[in-house]
Amino acid sequence: MKRKLLSAILCASMVAASLAGCGSTAAKEEATVENEATPAGDAADDTADDSASDGKLVVGFAQIGQESGWRDAETMSIQTYAEEHADTVELKFADAQQKQENQIKAIKSFIEQDVDVIGLAPVVETGWDQVFAEAQDAGIPIILLDRTADVDESLYATFIGSDFIEEGKLAAQNMAELIGGKGKIVELEGTVGASAATDRKTGFDEEIAANYPDIEIVASQTGDFTRAQGKEVMESFLKSNPDIVGVYAHNDDMALGAIEAIKEAGLKPGEDIKTVSVDGVKGIFEAMVAGEANCTVECNPLLGPLFFETAAKLKAGESVEKWVKSVDGVFTSDIAADVIDDRAY
C-alpha cells in the first residue's frame, strides 16, 4: 500500500506533464494491487512483479522535455516502439520539462516501481552521482540516451548517442567553406551544462581556432536549444555585430529562430548571413530548400528501437558496449530538395 501511494504521489507531482506517463503508471498500479495479496519478501515480490507485468520488459524513461523538434522526434520514436510492442514492452514515460530535479524525481519513482531498466536523457551533465548510485543499489541498469552524464563509468550501463565534438568540427568545416574561410560569426549555444552544448562548442571553437585564423567568433551565448530564445539572442547579436557573415547554432530550432531575426532585421538568411546548425529536422530542410539556411549536421533522434533492444539485452544480463555511437551525415542546401521527402523526422 505504501509503495502504491508513493508511486501515485510521485506520478501526480512530477510526471504531471506527461499524460502518457501517468496512464502507464496507472496500469502498473493495478498490477501492484494484485501483488499485495502475496506474502511480503523480495522473492515473492519478484515473482509477483513478473506475473503482474506478464514477463514484459518494464522500462522507465526520464525525458528532458519538449524543447525542440529533435526532442519531439525522439519521444515519438520511443513511444511508438512501446505501442507497437505492447505485448512485450511496458514504458513508463516522464517529461521533466527541462528540469533536472524532475528527472531525479522520475528516476526515484522508477526505482520505487522496480522497473527493469531506466533510460535517461540527462538535461545537464553533472549532479547525477547519488541517484545513479541508488539505481545501482537497487540493481537497475541505466541507459544514457542522446546526452552524456559526467559520472564514473561504473554508474551507467551504456550511452547511446552521437559524437558531439565531431558534430561541432563538421559544423566548423562547413561554415568555413560557406564564408570562404574569413569573417565574423556568432554562435548560439544549447542548454548551459548539457553535454550536447558543451561538446558542440568545444568541437566547433577548437576547429576554427586550429585551422581558420581569419574567422572570428565575435559572440557566443545560450539560446537553450529553443526556437524562441534562438531568435531573441540573434536579435541582440545583430544589434551589436551588424557585420557578421555567419551563425552557428547548436541545434536547428535555434537556427530557425535566428533566421526569423535575420529577416526581421532586413537581411537575407542563407545569403547575407550563412547558417550552419545541428540535428537535421524537417524545418531546417524546408529552410534550406527555400534558400534561407545553408547546412545541417545530422544527429539521429530515432533511437527508440535501439533503446529498447539494448534494454532487453541488459535485462537478459548480456553485455553492451559503453558507447553505442550514432552514424550521422551532413546535409547542405544544394542537396536539400533531393532528400527532403525521404527525411523521417
State yes or no: residue 132 binds ligand GYE (CB under 6 A). Answer: no
Nearer to ligand GYE, 90 or 146 (CB): 146
- Minimum Å gap between C-beta 74 and ligand GYE is 8
State yes or no: residue 227 binds ligand GYE (CB under 6 A). Answer: no
Q: Which residues contact 279 (CB under 8 A, 6 or more apart)?
A: 68, 69, 70, 251, 252, 253, 296, 297, 298, 299, 301
Binding mask 84-123 for ligand GYE (x = CB under 6 A): ----------------------------------------
Among residues 116, 279, 298, 328, which is the contact residue for ligand GYE, using CB under 6 A? 279
- Rounded-to-integer distance, Cα 129 and Cα 256, Å: 36
Q: Which residues contact 343 (CB under 8 A, 6 or more apart)?
A: 280, 282, 285
* CA quadruple 6, 12, 13, 18: dihedral, nearest 10: 130
Which range touches ligand GYE (CB under 6 A), out of 36-44, 63-71, 208-216, 331-339? 63-71
State yes or no: residue 199 binds ligand GYE (CB under 6 A). Answer: no
Distance, first Cα to last Cα, the chain: 43
State yes or no: residue 24 binds ligand GYE (CB under 6 A). Answer: no
Which range touches ligand GYE (CB under 6 A), out of 4-12, 64-72, 96-104, 321-329? 64-72
Phi, psi of 165, rounded to the nearest 5 degrees: -65, -45
Residues binding ligand GYE: number (CB under 6 A): 12
- 330: helix, strand or coil: strand
Please give the residues from 133 up to 172 whose contact with ligand GYE meets the rule CB under 6 A: 146-147
Nearer to ligand GYE, 79 or 136 (CB): 79
Please give the residues from 233 up to 252 whose contact with ligand GYE meets the rule CB under 6 A: 251
- CA-wise closest residue to 310 among 123, 141, 113: 141
- Rounded-to-integer distance, Cα 89 and Cα 266, Å: 52
CB atoms within 10 A of CB 234: 30
**Residues 274 and 246 sit within 8 Å (Cβ to Cβ):** yes
- Minimum Å gap between C-beta 332 and ligand GYE is 18
Nearer to ligand GYE, 70 or 308 (CB): 70
Binding mask 289-308 for ligand GYE (x = CB under 6 A): ----------x---------
- CA-wise closest residue to 167 among 184, 153, 145, 147: 147
Among residues 196, 295, 297, 311, which is the contact residue for ligand GYE, using CB under 6 A? 196
Nearer to ligand GYE, 278 or 336 (CB): 278
- Report the interface residues with ligand GYE, using CB under 6 A: 67-68, 70-71, 146-147, 196, 225, 251, 278-279, 299
